[in-house]
Amino acid sequence: MQKVAVIGAGTMGNGIAHVFAQNGFTVHLIDVAQPALDKALDTIVRNLNRQLAKEIITEAVKQSTINNLHTFTDLAAGVKDAELVVEAATENADLKLRIFRDLDQFTAPGAILATNTSSISITKIAAVTSWPGKVIGMHFMNPVPVMKLVEIINGYATESEVTDTVRELSLKLGKVPCIVNDYPGFVANRILMPMINEAICALHEGVAGVESIDTVMRLGMAHPMGPLQLADFIGLDVCLSILRVLHDGFGQPKYAPCPLLVNMVTAGHLGVKSGKGFYKYEGAGKDLTVSDRFRQ
Ligand SMILES: NC(=O)c1ccc[n+]([C@@H]2O[C@H](COP(=O)([O-])OP(=O)(O)OC[C@H]3O[C@@H](n4cnc5c(N)ncnc54)[C@H](O)[C@@H]3O)[C@@H](O)[C@H]2O)c1
pLDDT at site 285? 63
CB distance 89 to ligand 1 below 6 Å: yes
H-helix segments, 54-92: 59-67, 75-79
Domain count, the chain: 2
- Taking a C-beta distance cutoff of 8 angstroms, is the pair 62, 52 a contact? yes
- Res 284 pLDDT > 70: no
Query: Do 202 and 110 share a structural domain?
Result: no
Strands 3-7 and 84-87: parallel
The string of pLDDT tens digits covering residues 45-95 is: 999 999 999 999 999 999 999 999 999 999 999 999 999 999 999 989 999
Q: Is residue 296 part of a domain?
A: no
Distance separating alpha carbons of residues 33 and 39, to the nearest angstrom: 10
| Ligand 1 centroid – CA 88 distance (Å) | 5
Among the candidates 131, 151, 181, a domain finishes at: 181
Q: How confident is the model at residue 291 (pLDDT cuts 50, 70, 90)?
A: very high
Whether residue 151 lies in the annotated active site: yes
Phi, psi at residue 122, to the nearest 5°? -65, -40
Domain that holds residue 7: 3-181
CB distance 10 to ligand 1 below 6 Å: yes
Q: Which atom of ligand 1 is nearest to 14's Cα?
A: 16
Mutate to test the pocket of ligand 1, among 6, 7, 12, 115 (most ligand atoms within 8 A of CB): 12
Query: Do 174 and 209 share a structural domain?
Result: no
pLDDT at site 283? 72
H-helix segments, the chain: 11-22, 34-53, 59-67, 75-79, 93-106, 122-126, 160-172, 188-204, 210-221, 227-234, 236-250, 259-266
The CATH code of the domain that includes 37 is: 3.40.50.720
- Taking a C-beta distance cutoff of 8 angstroms, is the pair 71, 41 a contact? yes
DSSP-assigned letter for residue 258: P
List 47, 91, 116, 139, catalytic entry: 139
Query: Do 201 and 174 share a structural domain?
Result: no
Query: Do 283 and 153 share a structural domain?
Result: no
Whether residue 139 lies in the annotated active site: yes
Query: Do 130 and 73 share a structural domain?
Result: yes
DSSP-assigned letter for residue 110: T
CA atoms within 13 A on the CB side of 95: 12
| Ligand 1 centroid – CA 9 distance (Å) | 7
pLDDT at site 95? 97
How much is the average pLDDT of 277-296?
86
Query: Do 254 and 112 share a structural domain?
Result: no
Whether residue 189 lies in the annotated active site: yes
How much is the average pLDDT of 228-240?
95
The CATH code of the domain that includes 241 is: 1.10.1040.50
Q: How confident is the model at residue 165 (pLDDT cuts 50, 70, 90)?
A: very high
